[in-house]
Amino acid sequence: MTKLILRALAGETLPTPPVWMMRQAGRYLPEYRATRAQAGDFLSLCYNPELAAEVTLQPIRRYGFDAAILFADILLLPQALGPKLWFETGEGPRMETTTTPEQVAALRTSGAIHDTLSPIYETIRILRRELPEETTLIGFAGAPWTVATYMIAGRGSKDQGAAHALKAADRATFAALIDRITEATVEYLSAQIEAGAEVVKLFDSWAGSLKGADFTDFAVEPTRRIIAVLKVRHPETPVIAFPREAGAGYIGFAKATGADCVAIDNSVSPEWAAENVQPGGCVQGNLAPGHMVTGGQDLIDATRRVVDAFRGGPHIFNLGHGITPDADPANVQLMVDTVRGA
Ligand code: 1CP
Judge whether 192 is annotated as a binding position.
no
Judge whether 321 is annotated as a binding position.
yes
Judge whether 73 is annotated as a binding position.
yes
**Residue nearest atom 18 in ligand 1 by C-alpha distance:** 71
Distance of alpha carbon 326 from its chain centroid, rounded? 20
**Residue nearest atom 4 in ligand 1 by C-alpha distance:** 42
- Cβ 22 under 6 angstroms from ligand 1: yes
- Cβ 94 under 6 angstroms from ligand 1: no
The complex's ipTM?
Answer: 0.92
- Cβ 27 under 6 angstroms from ligand 1: yes
Q: Which pLDDT score is estimated for 223?
A: 98
Q: Where are the domains of the chain?
A: 25-285
Q: Which pLDDT score is estimated for 1?
A: 63
Q: Annotated catalytic sites, by residue? A: 23, 27, 36, 73, 150
Q: Which pLDDT score is estimated for 314?
A: 98
Please say whether the beta carbons of 333 and 60 come within 8 A. no
d(CA 266, CA 286): 5
- Cβ 43 under 6 angstroms from ligand 1: no
Of all atoms in ligand 1, which is nearest to the CA of residue 75? Answer: 37
Q: Which pLDDT score is estimated for 182?
A: 98
Q: Which pLDDT score is estimated for 5?
A: 98
Q: Which pLDDT score is estimated for 204?
A: 98
- Cβ 26 under 6 angstroms from ligand 1: yes
User: Which ranges of the chain have pLDDT less than 50?
Assistant: none
**Residue nearest atom 35 in ligand 1 by C-alpha distance:** 205
Q: Which pLDDT score is estimated for 84?
A: 98
Using DSSP's 3-state secondary structure scheme, residue 85 falls into strand
Q: Which pLDDT score is estimated for 19?
A: 98
Judge whether 38 is annotated as a binding position.
no
- Cβ 69 under 6 angstroms from ligand 1: yes
Q: Strand ranges (DSSP E) for 6-97?
A: 67-69, 85-88, 92-95
Average of per-residue pLDDT values in the chain = 97
Q: How close is the Cα of 73 to the center of ligand 1, in Å?
A: 6
Give the whole-number percent of the chain exceeding pLDDT 90: 99
**Residue nearest atom 46 in ligand 1 by C-alpha distance:** 156
CATH fold group of domain 25-285 = TIM Barrel (3.20.20)
pTM of the model: 0.97
Q: Which pLDDT score is estimated for 10?
A: 98
